[in-house]
Amino acid sequence: MIADWILFLGLAFVAIVSALGMLLSKSAVYSALNLIINFVTVAIFYLILGAPFIALSQITVYAGAIMVLFLFVIMLLGAERLPIGVALPWQRPLAIVLGIVLILEAAYLLISRLGVLPAPGAVGADFGSPKAIGLALFDAYLLPFEVVSILLLVAMIGAILLSRKREREP
Amino acid sequence: MVPIQYYLDLSVILFTLGSLGVLIRRNAIVIFMSIELMLNAANLAFVAFSRMHQSINGQIFVFFIISVAAAEVAVGLALIVAIFRSKHNIDIDQMNSLQG
């Protein structure tokens, strides 16, 4: 029991600090590296919550593919040494006030509507396993699965079209 | 096992940090990363509720959200590269016209 709490609090600390590091670091590369740490800690949370397939997809897709794409674009554009524009002076304090209001409202709703939820009971060993996910995907969720494949195809075509060098004006 | 409540609290904190990133930062790539952070916070809430109700459906939704996020990142980064080619800057204060 106490080990669960130590694990949760330690991981939550790492997640929040890496999110803050993503938010506050001057360099975009450091932001991306902090975000990778955050994604890996969230993947460990998924493992604790009994979702091993989702946890490993998180690591391969988010921490692997998506963040490599981000780092590649940052280095391609040289976003490190871009000039920093003049921000609106009131924007940062206003954003912090709005963020505090948002978090207070969410905390109020979580406490007043939900109360303290009980600790969840144990689940079977194959809960969230690739087999269970695959059975659900190809049975009840077959149509959304096919739609996602079309979505990925459209995104691929869109990315190729957008990043193509324009050779002649239409 | 830690109660689900605390996972939801963590998800709210991460979501707020992501929205603060969108509001504070001026670099389009960092704003994009903050959006990913918010999607991730929502995924954490989905998985926590899936564990609470002992139902696999929440995890299926997370699977779909991850694939939509992958598509979104591909198109969004291509857009940022295209904007950088025409304006030589990705500061969002400079992106005030749709004309290339």
Within 8 A by CB and 6+ apart from A81, the residues are none
Residue B27 bridge partners (DSSP): B91
Task: Over range B46-55, report the average pLDDT.
Answer: 90
In sequence order, which residues have a C-beta less than 8 Å from that of residue A13 and are 6 or more positions away?
A: none
According to DSSP, residue A26 is labeled S
Note whether B45 and B61 are within 8 A (CB): no
Residues 6+ apart with CB under 8 A from B86: B100
In chain A, where are the structural domains located?
A: 1-80
pLDDT at res. A82: 57
> Measured between CA atoms, how close is A139 to chain B, in angstroms?
12
How many secondary structure helices (H) and strands (E) does chain B include? 3, 0
Structure tokens that stand for A93 in this block:
């304090």
The pLDDT, as a whole number, for residue A124 is 76
ipTM of the complex: 0.91
Q: What is the pLDDT of residue A85?
A: 57
Q: What is the pLDDT of residue A12?
A: 95
B25 touches chain A (CB under 8 A): yes
Could you count the other beta carbons within 10 Å of the beta carbon of residue B41?
A: 25
Domains, in order of start, for chain B: 4-87 (1.10.287.3510)
Look at A31 and B48 and tell me if their CB atoms are within 8 Å.
no
The predicted-structure confidence for B24-38, as pLDDT tens digits, reads as follows 888 889 999 999 999
pLDDT in tens, chain A (170 residues): 788 899 999 999 999 999 999 988 888 899 999 999 999 999 999 999 989 999 999 999 998 899 999 999 998 887 666 555 566 778 888 888 999 999 899 888 888 877 667 777 777 777 888 899 999 999 999 999 999 999 999 999 999 998 887 665 55
- Return the CATH number of the domain spanning residue range A1-80: 1.20.120.1200
CB contact under 8 A, A66 and B36: yes
The number of C-beta contacts closer than 8 angstroms across A and B is 225
